[in-house]
Amino acid sequence: MVLLAAAVCTKSGKALVSRQFIEMSRARIEGLLSAFPKLMSSDSKHSSKQHTFVETESVRYVYQPLEKMYALLITTKNSNILEDLETLRLFSKVIPEYCRKRYTYGGRVMYKSTIDETEVSNNAFELLFAFDEIVALGYRESVNLNQIRVFTEMDSHEEKVAIAMRKSQEEAAKKQRKEQMAEIAKRKREAGKGGRFGGMSMASMSGGGGIGGGGSSMGSSSSAGATVEPTASKPTRPKASRAGGMSLKGKKSGIDSFVDKLANEGVAVSSTAVKKETTKTQIPAALTESVHIRVEEKIQLQANRDGGLDEMILQGMMLLRISDEEQAKIKVRLDRDDDRVMWQTHPQVNKNVFNSESIVGLKNPDKPFPVNQDVGVLKWRLQTQDEDQIPLNITCWPNENGDGGCDVSVEYELQDVHQHLELADVTIRIPVPSGVGAPIISNIDGDYKHDARKNFLEWTLPVIDSSNANGSLEFSIAGNPDDFFPVSVEFHSTKKSFINVAVSGVVEADSGSPVKFSNENALLVERYEVV
């Protein structure tokens, strides 16, 4: 059977929960569900018979009443009705299992005998998880109710370990915080005692009985060994506040220590991780000069399965970034020889000089380029249907083998006019039919991965250049020739530009002296398909 969707709906056709098992738009499934009550009403004249399904020209509805609702399956018309009914019975058991309201009576957990719309809506996610255990990619899995219950409630050992570790860290942090708070309170008490009685104790120990003598003694003791002249009229005040200051300092260090202990659990870790990730995406300073030029191109291509090119659009831009104000007055010399390309300069760039001498410079040579920002000084565009301009030619040949399947041969070719390119991280994605098992690979240059959930075969090569300008993949799988299109391609290149434009030099605008510069190239794919 091919099960299109499963749903729990009211008798009026309102969908409470719906799960699609194949690619289907929301409008399509809503239309199918809204048509179901009308089919039921039109079939009411046959009420003497017990119907468990109704059909249209394209689909079959298999249903079972549940109180004021229906458990509903939507299948193709050529599916086996006996398998449909068996699957429906399992769905009808699963729905009450997750939607019956629990309550306690006499110390025992009891369940309500009926279910309503509220219970279905409140347990929608649990139902969806259970539905996914019953059906995968439109086909019934060999499971029973007990297995579904175990699968949906399965615990994760890694999650338990992570939770236990986190709780342990939290308990340790709480314990340390209490100890530090107790230590801070103890220091405060000791500091308070020293402030109140420290001067009197030192005075009695020094033997001074009068106010003047007491003042002299207190002044001597508070200065930590320094000589202070005794003054009877203005006694020196004991510096008990110093102990309080030490207490505050200890408190600060205690808080810092506590925060350090929690650094592996809070925002600090996330902030550090973000900073590290940001650093990875930046160009290393050692590789970038004060004048840096980036050539970036993006390609959109659609070819047909017969080898022709429907359309190819290449858009390029040259970005100039200057980090030193003293080198902001410059000119960039280019090597270019491509009549296919439409060039466009920035309004402030001297267009006549560029067209005649391939030099990018400002109209006013005394004016500097902006500093510390990426400035787009030049753009170009190439739009063509010339098949020779396809950088990586992909050919997909599916041949029916007579056993209900196809022998598929996929080839790539880096064309001669683009041998200067080095394509990195190449991914060729070929669609494959769903629910027919994994393809059998007979020959491959590179690696592959079969994604049974998204239904595609991914052919990957780390690099394609002049040394491996050709390669092939051969596999067999059940299906029709049309099942293996469209083929999509992804790659990027950082060696040279597609149109082979290059920076030959950078000079000062006034003196013509050479300026040290760095440059990079990037060819990116926005869309690349063989349909």
Residues 26 and 85 in one domain: yes
Residues 381 and 434 in one domain: no
Residues 187 and 276 in one domain: yes
Instruction: Tell me how far CA of residue 362 lies from CA of 155, 341, 351, 502, in angstroms.
Output: 66, 22, 9, 19
Tell me what pLDDT residue 130 has: 86
On whether residue 334 sits in a domain, the answer given is: yes
Mean pLDDT computed over every residue of the chain: 79
H/E run at residue 526: strand 518-530
Res 460 pLDDT > 90: yes
Three-state secondary structure readout of 411-474? EEEECHHHCCCCEEEEEEEEECCCCCCCCEEEEECCEEEEECCCCEEEEEEEEECHHHCEEEEE
Percent share of the chain, pLDDT over 90? 38
Instruction: Tell me how far CA of residue 520 lies from CA of 280, 291, 321, 496, in angstroms.
Output: 17, 12, 12, 8
- Give the least confident one: 250-264, 267-281, 439-453, 461-475: 267-281
On whether residue 72 sits in a domain, the answer given is: yes
Last residue of a domain, one of 282, 308, 332: 282
Last residue of a domain, one of 282, 309, 339: 282
Query: 272: which DSSP letter?
Result: H
Give the E-state strand segments of 262-368 in sequence order. Answer: 291-303, 309-322, 330-335, 342-345, 359-360
Residues 139 and 14 in one domain: yes
Tell me what pLDDT residue 47 has: 43
On whether residue 212 sits in a domain, the answer given is: no
The residue-averaged pLDDT of 514-530 equals 94
On whether residue 211 sits in a domain, the answer given is: no
Overall pTM surpassing 0.75 (yes/no): no
On whether residue 463 sits in a domain, the answer given is: yes
Residue 333 pLDDT grade (very low, low, confident, very high; cuts 50, 70, 90)? very high
> Can you state the angle between helices 211-222 and 157-206, rounded to 10 degrees?
140
Tell me what pLDDT residue 523 has: 95
Tell me what pLDDT residue 113 has: 56
- Torsion region of 261: left, alpha or beta (phi above 0 gives left; psi -120 to 50 gives alpha): alpha
The token pair that represents 241 in the structure block: 């506040």
- Give the least confident one: 235-239, 322-326, 416-420, 510-514: 235-239
Tell me whether residue 367 is exposed, middle or buried, using C-beta atoms within 10 angstroms of its C-beta: 0 to 12, 13 to 18, 19 or more: exposed
The residue-averaged pLDDT of 173-184 equals 89
Q: What is the pLDDT of residues 436-456, one digit of tens each?
A: 889 999 999 999 999 988 899
Residues 18 and 146 in one domain: yes
Residues 75 and 124 in one domain: yes
- CA-nearest of 454, 450, 378, 392 to 423 is 392
Q: Cα 468 to chain center, whole Å?
A: 32
The residue-averaged pLDDT of 247-251 equals 41
Query: 514: which DSSP letter?
Result: B
- Give the least confident one: 59-73, 117-131, 206-220, 486-500: 206-220
CA trace torsion 427, 518, 360, 524 (10° rounding): 10
Residues 292 and 329 in one domain: yes
The enclosing domain of 359 has a CATH number of 2.60.40.1170
Residues 82 and 9 in one domain: yes
Q: Where are the alpha helices (DSSP H) in 154-233?
A: 157-206, 211-222
Tell me what pLDDT residue 215 has: 39
Residues 319 and 356 in one domain: yes
Q: Which residue has the higher pLDDT, 145 or 225?
A: 145
Residue 275 pLDDT grade (very low, low, confident, very high; cuts 50, 70, 90)? very low
Q: What is the pLDDT of residues 312-327, one digit of tens each?
A: 999 999 999 999 999 9
Domain span at 187:
155-196+240-282
On whether residue 7 sits in a domain, the answer given is: yes
Q: What is the pLDDT of residues 349-376, one digit of tens each?
A: 999 999 999 999 999 988 999 999 999 9
Q: Which residue has the higher pLDDT, 418 or 247?
A: 418
Last residue of a domain, one of 259, 282, 305: 282
Give the Cα separation of 402 and 288 in Å (integer).
60
Tell me what pLDDT residue 200 has: 41
Strand 518-530 and strand 291-303: the pairing is: parallel
Residues 460 and 377 in one domain: no
- CA-nearest of 423, 444, 434 to 489 is 423
Residue 282 pLDDT grade (very low, low, confident, very high; cuts 50, 70, 90)? very low
Domain count, the chain: 4
Q: What SS3 class is residue 525?
A: strand
Highest mean pLDDT among 148-162, 278-292, 335-349, 351-365: 351-365
Q: Which residue has the higher pLDDT, 1 or 292?
A: 292
Give the Cα separation of 508 and 191 in Å (integer).
70
Tell me what pLDDT residue 365 has: 87
Residues 94 and 120 in one domain: yes
Q: Which residue has the higher pLDDT, 208 or 183?
A: 183
